[in-house]
Amino acid sequence: MPRWFAVDYIAFGSVMILVEVVGVRVEMPSNQPIILLKEMDGTRFLPIWVGAVEATAIAFAQQGVIPPRPLTHDLMKELVETLDGTLTAVHLTELREGVFYANLLLRNSANQEFVVSARPSDAIALALRTQSNILATEELFAEAGIEMPSEDASQANEEVERFREFLEQINPEDFAG
Protein backbone atom coordinates (compact mmCIF):
# COMPACT_ATOMS: atom_id res chain seq x y z
CA MET A 1 0.00 0.00 0.00
CA PRO A 2 1.43 3.43 -0.84
CA ARG A 3 2.45 5.62 2.07
CA TRP A 4 1.70 9.36 2.21
CA PHE A 5 4.64 11.66 1.99
CA ALA A 6 5.47 13.44 5.23
CA VAL A 7 3.72 16.63 4.20
CA ASP A 8 0.61 18.34 5.42
CA TYR A 9 -2.60 17.96 3.46
CA ILE A 10 -6.22 18.94 3.87
CA ALA A 11 -8.85 16.33 4.79
CA PHE A 12 -12.40 17.06 5.88
CA GLY A 13 -11.51 20.76 6.21
CA SER A 14 -8.52 20.25 8.53
CA VAL A 15 -4.79 20.30 7.94
CA MET A 16 -3.58 16.73 8.56
CA ILE A 17 -0.06 15.95 9.81
CA LEU A 18 1.62 12.58 9.30
CA VAL A 19 2.74 11.06 12.61
CA GLU A 20 4.76 8.07 13.73
CA VAL A 21 4.17 5.94 16.79
CA VAL A 22 7.19 6.40 19.04
CA GLY A 23 5.85 3.78 21.40
CA VAL A 24 3.89 2.95 24.50
CA ARG A 25 5.01 3.83 27.98
CA VAL A 26 3.52 3.81 31.44
CA GLU A 27 3.11 7.16 33.18
CA MET A 28 4.12 7.12 36.82
CA PRO A 29 2.79 7.22 39.49
CA SER A 30 -0.65 6.55 37.99
CA ASN A 31 0.49 3.47 35.99
CA GLN A 32 -1.56 4.81 33.07
CA PRO A 33 -0.31 3.66 29.63
CA ILE A 34 0.39 6.39 27.06
CA ILE A 35 0.84 6.16 23.29
CA LEU A 36 3.45 8.70 22.24
CA LEU A 37 3.14 10.02 18.68
CA LYS A 38 5.55 12.39 16.91
CA GLU A 39 4.96 14.47 13.82
CA MET A 40 7.19 13.15 11.04
CA ASP A 41 8.60 16.47 9.89
CA GLY A 42 8.49 18.43 13.10
CA THR A 43 9.32 18.63 16.74
CA ARG A 44 5.91 18.12 18.33
CA PHE A 45 4.77 15.05 20.23
CA LEU A 46 1.21 13.97 20.96
CA PRO A 47 0.60 11.81 24.06
CA ILE A 48 -2.64 9.83 24.17
CA TRP A 49 -3.67 8.03 27.35
CA VAL A 50 -5.07 4.53 26.71
CA GLY A 51 -6.12 1.41 28.56
CA ALA A 52 -3.78 -1.47 29.40
CA VAL A 53 -5.33 -3.85 26.85
CA GLU A 54 -4.97 -1.31 24.05
CA ALA A 55 -1.40 -0.53 25.11
CA THR A 56 -0.59 -4.24 24.94
CA ALA A 57 -2.12 -4.53 21.46
CA ILE A 58 -0.03 -1.61 20.23
CA ALA A 59 3.14 -2.94 21.87
CA PHE A 60 2.50 -6.36 20.26
CA ALA A 61 2.19 -4.74 16.82
CA GLN A 62 5.33 -2.64 17.29
CA GLN A 63 7.34 -5.64 18.45
CA GLY A 64 6.01 -7.91 15.70
CA VAL A 65 4.52 -10.34 18.24
CA ILE A 66 2.08 -12.78 16.67
CA PRO A 67 -0.23 -14.22 19.32
CA PRO A 68 -1.32 -17.88 19.08
CA ARG A 69 -4.92 -16.69 18.61
CA PRO A 70 -5.85 -13.41 16.94
CA LEU A 71 -6.41 -10.37 19.12
CA THR A 72 -9.34 -8.06 18.36
CA HIS A 73 -7.21 -5.84 16.12
CA ASP A 74 -5.85 -8.86 14.23
CA LEU A 75 -9.45 -9.95 13.71
CA MET A 76 -10.38 -6.45 12.46
CA LYS A 77 -7.50 -6.59 9.97
CA GLU A 78 -8.63 -10.01 8.73
CA LEU A 79 -12.23 -8.80 8.37
CA VAL A 80 -11.20 -5.79 6.29
CA GLU A 81 -8.97 -7.93 4.06
CA THR A 82 -11.54 -10.74 3.75
CA LEU A 83 -14.11 -8.19 2.58
CA ASP A 84 -11.54 -7.01 -0.01
CA GLY A 85 -11.10 -3.68 1.73
CA THR A 86 -8.14 -1.52 2.62
CA LEU A 87 -7.50 0.73 5.59
CA THR A 88 -6.14 3.73 3.71
CA ALA A 89 -5.41 5.91 6.76
CA VAL A 90 -6.24 6.71 10.35
CA HIS A 91 -7.15 10.28 11.24
CA LEU A 92 -6.83 11.49 14.81
CA THR A 93 -9.35 14.28 14.71
CA GLU A 94 -10.10 16.00 17.99
CA LEU A 95 -10.02 16.16 21.75
CA ARG A 96 -13.41 16.81 23.29
CA GLU A 97 -13.98 16.92 27.07
CA GLY A 98 -10.74 15.01 27.64
CA VAL A 99 -11.58 12.27 25.10
CA PHE A 100 -9.61 11.76 21.87
CA TYR A 101 -11.48 10.88 18.66
CA ALA A 102 -10.35 9.16 15.48
CA ASN A 103 -11.65 7.95 12.12
CA LEU A 104 -10.75 4.90 10.07
CA LEU A 105 -10.64 5.67 6.34
CA LEU A 106 -11.55 2.50 4.45
CA ARG A 107 -11.84 1.68 0.75
CA ASN A 108 -13.48 -1.39 -0.80
CA SER A 109 -12.72 -3.17 -4.07
CA ALA A 110 -15.28 -0.98 -5.91
CA ASN A 111 -13.20 2.03 -4.81
CA GLN A 112 -15.94 3.26 -2.48
CA GLU A 113 -14.65 5.12 0.56
CA PHE A 114 -16.01 4.79 4.08
CA VAL A 115 -15.27 6.71 7.27
CA VAL A 116 -15.77 4.83 10.54
CA SER A 117 -15.46 6.49 13.94
CA ALA A 118 -13.05 4.69 16.30
CA ARG A 119 -11.14 5.11 19.52
CA PRO A 120 -7.62 6.34 18.71
CA SER A 121 -6.04 3.36 20.49
CA ASP A 122 -7.98 0.88 18.34
CA ALA A 123 -7.34 2.90 15.19
CA ILE A 124 -3.59 3.05 15.90
CA ALA A 125 -3.40 -0.67 16.73
CA LEU A 126 -5.13 -1.46 13.42
CA ALA A 127 -2.97 1.01 11.46
CA LEU A 128 0.20 -0.61 12.79
CA ARG A 129 -1.04 -4.04 11.69
CA THR A 130 -1.90 -2.82 8.18
CA GLN A 131 1.05 -0.43 7.75
CA SER A 132 -1.46 2.39 7.20
CA ASN A 133 -0.69 6.06 7.67
CA ILE A 134 -1.65 7.79 10.89
CA LEU A 135 -2.41 11.49 10.67
CA ALA A 136 -3.49 14.05 13.25
CA THR A 137 -5.20 17.38 12.75
CA GLU A 138 -3.28 20.59 13.29
CA GLU A 139 -6.00 21.56 15.77
CA LEU A 140 -5.31 18.44 17.82
CA PHE A 141 -1.59 19.21 17.93
CA ALA A 142 -2.38 22.82 18.89
CA GLU A 143 -4.59 21.65 21.75
CA ALA A 144 -2.73 18.61 23.10
CA GLY A 145 0.69 18.53 21.44
CA ILE A 146 3.97 19.06 23.23
CA GLU A 147 6.53 21.22 21.43
CA MET A 148 10.20 20.29 21.52
CA PRO A 149 12.08 23.42 20.36
CA SER A 150 14.81 22.93 17.77
CA GLU A 151 17.56 23.73 20.29
CA ASP A 152 16.23 20.78 22.30
CA ALA A 153 16.05 18.55 19.22
CA SER A 154 19.17 16.53 20.02
CA GLN A 155 17.99 16.07 23.59
CA ALA A 156 14.54 15.07 22.30
CA ASN A 157 16.13 12.56 19.90
CA GLU A 158 18.13 11.11 22.79
CA GLU A 159 14.94 10.86 24.87
CA VAL A 160 13.13 9.15 21.98
CA GLU A 161 16.04 6.74 21.60
CA ARG A 162 15.98 5.94 25.34
CA PHE A 163 12.22 5.41 25.04
CA ARG A 164 12.73 3.01 22.10
CA GLU A 165 15.30 1.09 24.17
CA PHE A 166 12.77 0.93 27.01
CA LEU A 167 10.18 -0.48 24.60
CA GLU A 168 12.56 -3.21 23.48
CA GLN A 169 12.93 -4.36 27.09
CA ILE A 170 9.27 -4.52 28.07
CA ASN A 171 6.81 -7.32 27.61
CA PRO A 172 3.09 -6.87 26.95
CA GLU A 173 2.48 -8.64 30.27
CA ASP A 174 3.99 -5.56 31.97
CA PHE A 175 0.71 -3.77 31.18
CA ALA A 176 -1.51 -6.39 32.82
CA GLY A 177 -3.54 -4.92 35.67
Higher pLDDT pick, 97 / 160? 97
Does residue 12 contact residue 28 with C-beta atoms inside 8 Å?
Answer: no
Calculate the average pLDDT of the chain: 84
Radius of gyration of the chain from Cα atoms? 16
Nearest to 1 by CA among 106, 118, 156, 153: 106
Nearest to 129 by CA among 167, 162, 87, 99: 87
Question: At residue 2, does pLDDT exceed 60?
Answer: no
Structural domains of the chain ordered from first start: 9-162 (3.10.690.10)
Predicted local distance difference test score (pLDDT) of residue 4: 40
**Longest CA–CA separation in the chain, Å:** 50
Question: At residue 167, does pLDDT exceed 70?
Answer: no
Residues 52-97: tens digit of each pLDDT: 999 989 999 988 888 889 889 999 999 999 999 999 999 999 999 9
> pTM of the entire structure?
0.78
Rounded CA separation 113/28 (Å): 41
Q: How confident is the model at residue 27 (pLDDT cuts 50, 70, 90)?
A: confident
Predicted local distance difference test score (pLDDT) of residue 82: 93
Predicted local distance difference test score (pLDDT) of residue 28: 80
Q: How confident is the model at residue 14 (pLDDT cuts 50, 70, 90)?
A: confident
Residues 136-158: tens digit of each pLDDT: 999 999 999 998 765 555 666 66
Nearest to 107 by CA among 98, 116, 118, 120: 116
| Burial 4-29, CB ≥16 within 10 A → b, else e | eeeeeeeeeebebbbbebbbbbeeee
What average pLDDT does range 36-47 have in this prediction?
A: 93
Rounded CA separation 6/118 (Å): 23
Higher pLDDT pick, 28 / 111? 111
